[in-house]
Amino acid sequence: MRKYSKQTRILVAVDCIIFGFDGERLKVLLIKRGFEPEKDKWSVMGGFVQPDESPSEAASRVLKVLTGLENIYMEQTEVFGNIDRDPIERTISIGYYAFIEINKYKTQITDLYHAEWIDIKEIPQLIFDHNHMIDVALKKLRYKAALHPILFELLPEKFTVPQIQALYEQVYGSELDKRNFSRKLFSTGLLVKLQEKDKSSSKKGAFFYKLNQDSYKDNFEKFLNFIPNPQALLS
Amino acid sequence: MRKYSKQTRILVAVDCIIFGFDGERLKVLLIKRGFEPEKDKWSVMGGFVQPDESPSEAASRVLKVLTGLENIYMEQTEVFGNIDRDPIERTISIGYYAFIEINKYKTQITDLYHAEWIDIKEIPQLIFDHNHMIDVALKKLRYKAALHPILFELLPEKFTVPQIQALYEQVYGSELDKRNFSRKLFSTGLLVKLQEKDKSSSKKGAFFYKLNQDSYKDNFEKFLNFIPNPQALLS
């Protein structure tokens, strides 16, 4: 028995925006769409929500089927619901995003799939409102990274300060003062200096660091400064 | 011509969570549901997205029809999409939230409607997952208020420091140190001291303040401390 019989049902899709860092460049994962309309055009990874799955389950399934990626933690960005955003039929899409270390997932994204990492500076024209979806996801990433040290999750196990700075600069799309940045960075207590140096970019070299895992977990909310003890409040 | 003919269409709803402050208490606007199932039970303001409207247009319409409120700026919280969240038929709901000064909207919410402001500490059992929806919206409010001085929008034109503190304490559900709080508060440069005192709560009285509107607009993002010049980045 349907009690809501007078109501209109609508197609619901999910679209996944995956950011990655390869140690040098911030990138986004794109595919060439495999069906009409807009076949062979670049897009983010999308698909329809099925009757037996929640939107987040749909997002995981779509990502796995189209790219091979699995066990990726994705968060919602927002809902894209303009009535004419899909030219074929009205579709409300729920955006999801994640950020990963590219090299860690190299074996999952194989040639079986047609997914490619594209530099954030070189994103082509995408189908529908997908360029806008990436902008919204990037804004979420900026917002979150301003509060939590989440960008460290994009770094390789050992990394240099110039690498972190490059990552922050690409996420925020702006140059950061070197001295100011490293002062703030070290004040977080998140870094452990290693003996080894990276000499690939300069003669003098740059020390490698690793993340202080305990400190990272304990102080996940430490970037916040107005509310005392925000850990308890925002978790 | 339908190209997506194999796909399942789903009911999509919006649910509006409206927080308000009356100068003393943080409250949430609730109604008694007017139709089955769960008729006469408390709920937030919800309704189905129609074919000719975007989800945000649906949210504005639903809020107006059920409470009389209009021209309220609402933001999405998240999508609630568990397949069994509505016992009658699968419905995916998009949450929206807003926060307003209760006294400013007194004339809009009249007896014509069955909407009531309920103290955040005394929220009854609501239908479906609506209690969870309020929790999610409150978390968004906390998150946003930690970054931006948005809670000032909940205060009357002239207000006292104990009033602001009471508001922050209710939003964050925790007591704040008085001295520490006022030190941080004054350091924002957002307050202008008035000559007049509020003597309703103590003999000595508490000075009234008003918001420095210029400073408020210019420094909307000033609570942020890790990223330089965040105004340009988060807008």
pTM reported for the whole predicted model: 0.89
Q: What is the pairing mode between strands A11-21 and A91-101? A: parallel
Q: Given a cut of 50, is residue A233 above it in pLDDT? A: no
Query: Where exactly are the structural domains of chain B?
Result: 11-147, 150-234
Surface-to-core class of residue B50, CB atoms within 10 Å of its CB (0-12 exposed, 13-18 middle, 19+ buried): middle
Chain A segment 163-192 residues within 8 A of B by beta carbon are: 168, 172-174, 176-177, 180, 184
Which of B9, B173, B184 is facing A10, going by the closest CB pair? B9
Residue B188 has a pLDDT of 79
Nearest by CB: B94 against A79, A91, A227: A79
* Position A224 pLDDT exceeds 70: no
Residue A221 has pLDDT above 60, yes or no: no
% of residues, chain A, pLDDT over 90: 59
Max Cα–Cα distance, chain B, nearest Å: 75
Average pLDDT (A2-29) is 93
Taking the Cβ of residue B53 and every Cβ of chain A, the question of whether any pair is shorter than 8 Å is answered with yes
**Average pLDDT value for residue range A199-215:** 86
Mean model confidence pLDDT for chain A: 87
* Mean pLDDT in residue range A212-234: 55
Report the residue from B10, B52, B142 with minimal CB separation from A233: B142
What is the tens place of the pLDDT at every residue in A108-151?
888 778 899 999 999 999 999 999 999 999 988 987 887 778 88
Alpha-carbon distance values, A80 to A35, A86, A132 (Å): 21, 10, 10
User: Do B10 and A8 lie within an 8 Å CB cutoff?
Assistant: no
| Prediction ipTM score | 0.87
Angle subtended by helix axes A178-187 and A161-172, to nearest 10: 110
Q: Say if A82 is an interface residue toward chain B (CB within 8 Å).
A: yes
Pick B150-234's CATH classification: 3.40.720.10, 3.50.50.60, 3.40.630.40, 1.10.10.10. Answer: 1.10.10.10
- Sort out which chain B residues have CB atoms less than 8 A from A147's CB and list them: 143, 146-147
Nearest to B143 by CA among B207, B91, B75, B86: B75
Average pLDDT over residues A187-192: 84
**A34 interfaces chain B, CB cutoff of 8 Å:** no
User: Distance (Å, rounded) from C-alpha B183 to C-alpha A167?
Assistant: 35
Helix (H, G, I), strand (E, B) or coil at A140: helix
Please report the pLDDT score of residue B43 as a whole number.
Answer: 95
Compute the nearest-CA separation of A128 from chain B (Å): 16
Over pLDDT 70: what percentage of chain A? 91
Convert the pLDDT of each residue in B48-72 to its tens digit. Answer: 999 999 999 999 999 999 999 999 9
Tell which residue, B70, B18, B65, B20, has the closest CA to residue B44.
Answer: B18
Q: Which residue do the tokens 């508001």 mark?
A: B167
Residue pLDDT, tens place only, A79-110: 999 999 999 999 999 999 999 999 999 988 88
| CB–CB contact B11 A12 (8 Å) | no
Cβ-based contacts of B230 with chain A (< 8 Å)? 146
**What is the model's pLDDT at position B184?**
79
| pLDDT under 50: residue ranges of chain B | 223-235
Record: contact A89-B2, CB cut-off 8 A:
yes
Alpha carbon of A106: minimum distance to chain B alpha carbons (Å): 31
Please report the pLDDT score of residue A231 as a whole number. Answer: 39
A159 has pLDDT over 90: yes
Give the model's confidence band at A184: pLDDT under 50 very low, under 70 low, under 90 confident, else very high. Answer: confident
Of B53, B78, B234, the CB nearest to A76: B78
Q: Do residues A108 and A134 make contact, with C-beta atoms less than 8 angstroms apart?
A: no
Cβ–Cβ < 8 Å for B97, B18: yes
Rounded to 5 degrees, what are φ and ψ at B77? -95, -80
Q: Which of A41, A68, A207, A234 is nearest to A148 (CA)?
A: A234
pLDDT digits (tens, 9 = 90+) for A47-61: 999 999 999 999 999
Q: Which of residues 112-131 of A touch B (CB under 8 A)?
A: none
Chain B residues in contact with A60 (beta carbon < 8 A): none
Does the pLDDT value for residue A227 go beyond 80? no
Looking at residues A68-80, what average pLDDT do you find?
Answer: 96
Across-strand partners of A117? Answer: A29
Which CATH class name applies to A11-147?
Answer: alpha beta
* Cα diameter, chain A: 75
The C-alpha atoms of residue B203 and residue A214 are separated, in whole angstroms, by 50
Query: How far apart (Å, rounded) are the C-alpha atoms in residues A26 and A150?
Result: 14
What pLDDT is attached to residue B4?
84
Q: How far apart are CA A197 and CA B73, in angstroms?
A: 52
Name the strand (E) or helix (H) holding A234: helix A230-234
